[in-house]
Structure formats: C-alpha cells, structure tokens
Structure 1
C-alpha cells in the first residue's frame, strides 16, 4: 500500500513539473488620475469700449476708452461681478472708510481707506497722514516709504478689483495708480456698494448696520519726504 502511494505521489510530482504554470498576463493598471481644478474663466477687458458714459451729470454721452476709469465703462460691474468673485488670481479691495465698510460690504473684499490713507491734496500737513498729496496727475509722496507701502497694499503684479460707495473713489484711485506707473490692464472699477442692493447679492454681503465705528488713521515710523 505504501508502495502504491509513493508511485501515485511520484506521478503527481512529475505531472506538475512537466506542465509549467501559465503566468497571468500583467493586469492593466490604469495610471492614477490626479484631479485638476478647472482653470478660472478668462476675465473680460477692464474697460468695455463698446459702451458710452457721462463724464458729468449734465454732459452728453461719450465713448468709453481704455483710459476712462468710470464705473459705466467697466468690463466687470453690477451686472456680472458675481461671475468673478472668489478667484485666487484677483485681489478684492474696498476703498471706503472702516465705518462704512463695517456696516455693509461684499465678502472677500478687504478695506483700504482711500481718503484716509492713500491721497489728499494737503497730505503731509498737520493731521493729514495720507501717502500722497499734490494732484492725481502729479502725485507727491508724503514719505520716503510711500511707494513701497502703496505697492504692498496694491501689488503691481496682481489683478485688482476696486470698489467704494458709488465708484468715484475708485476712479480717483485709478488715476493715481496710472500716474504712478501701474499696468491699468489689471485694474477694474467694479462700482460701489450703493449699486449692490439687489437680493441676488445677499449671499455675498455682510450686513451689520448696527455697528458704529470711529476710526483714527495714522502711520507710524515713516520718514517724511524731503521737499
């Protein structure tokens, strides 16, 4: 019996050796797919030259050009701003004072007060701490650090959406920026908070009308520019 068992085992071993096992074809391993975020939609031109605007309340309509900073010429405005909110490639800046900003503002917009910190014709005189005085066409730096501070707040290599209460401060700021060598193809006047009253803007708005804020504006440690 043991002899028969040994013979049977030998036959099985020989059969196993004589028939090499079939190798499984390599399983197809699909390349790992790395999800990529969709590229943001291209921004429109900062100025829509197909539009017209009124230089003043009683003036006749004029054609918009690339050098007109008025809200009425902007390629991004109350009609389409929501399409361009929350982008990583845009800085959103509100030029109103802190008290108005605290009461109501669009989310993602940070506040940098234009009248209080950036420009006043009499900047540099007592109680006038703004970075620039003179005129918007020929600004005069109040401090040796004025240019560096302005660029820290409004980087020259960034696309910037500017807003205020009605758009007027933005137009002034853009004229100043143009005089100081900014690339105006990156700067947008998106209008004023007074225009964003439709209910569709509610999800994008912080409304704290109860806040009463009194702000004092000044700069510390700056070197007065020599006249």
Structure 2
C-alpha cells in the first residue's frame, strides 16, 4: 500500500466506530498468518481481538483455505430461498446432532447481528401466532448483541454509542448485570433484579435474551453456571422464550 492509498482511505472510506471528520489511524495489513497481522512494512501485530471474535481458528489455516478453494471452484454463493445444497445440509446435520432436544431446526444467518435480529423476529412472530401481544425483551446491563437496529435495542442502553439512539429504539427491560463469576461463589442477589422485572412484566415479555456463556464486549464476564440454570428455570416456569 502506498501513502496515496492511505490518504484515499482517510478521505473516502468510513471505518466502523470512527469519525469521518477526524478518522482514527488505520494499520495497513498486507497478509495474516495464525494469530498475527502482517503490515505492509513487515511489522507483525498479534490480533488479540481475533477479527471481532470471527477468526477463532486463526488466519491462513491450511484446512480452511483448502475447503474454501474447493468450494469456490463449484460455486461461491447461491441464495438460500427455495434452494439448497450439500454443504448447507452437511453443516446443519452436524449442528442438529450437537444440540439437545427439542432443538432440531436450523436457520442460517450471515452475521451475529442478523442472527439476533432473526431470533427476535421469531420470538415476536411466535406470540403473534398465539394471539398474545408480547413485544418486549428482558436482558442484562453490560450486554452486547450487535449493531443493527433490533440488536441495539437489547444492548446496554447507556454503554458506548448506544445511548445516541434513545428515543428511536424500542424500549426493552434491563436487569443488573450478574456479579457472580464462573469460578467464584454463587450470590443469590444476582437474581433479585431479574426476578422483579420478570414478575412485573411477564405478560409483556416475548423473550429473555442473553449472550451465551460470557458477556463479551461487556468485559469478558464469564457467567456462574447457577445463574444460567436459574434463568432457564424461570423462563420455563413463566412460559417465556429464551434466546442465547
């Protein structure tokens, strides 16, 4: 990359989470290997964020590269509406085998934000079909679920940029973030705020939505197993859907 390339980038390319009027500096990446990004000047940086948690197997993995090359020679992409193909069937067969009953159906989405949007729409549609006007979601402070409109409505409303959208997003319910840690003692107080909100709004709540296992962007907070068990039991008792 040349200095002209970088100058063009600053003038014309709007990167996520930055300003067009005073853009943050960018790192010119030429290639990537394992957990490292290799810059155009030869420097190597460890990608501790793993490309926003999407490159969990590292970069330039030989098995993944080989699979992609094989697939691109057959077809790069076809729409999934009214069409199916062997790789999708193979993937979904493996996913169904991994999940417990009664989870036996798969909806494929192309990003985490879209997956959250689809899950929320499914929850709303479920209650519409049952003739119940449930349109709110219960979640926790410090949560992050994506940056599309519906997903933002269940992110922490006062954290980062999400406060900019107050008044535009649907108003959902936020319980205090749990404080018990996975390797620590269970604190019963973690359920108090959640239980109160569920009791007060149980006829409005379409679903409880949480990040599974860990609050990632909210501080890498690993949940205590008891917390997850309690949420599942409370949702079952009240007949409320759980999205995780």
TM > 0.5? no
* Higher RCO by CA contacts (8 Å cutoff, separation 6 or greater): 1
Larger relative helix fraction: 2
State the TM-score, normalized to the length of structure 2.
0.29
Question: TM-score with structure 1 length normalisation?
Answer: 0.31
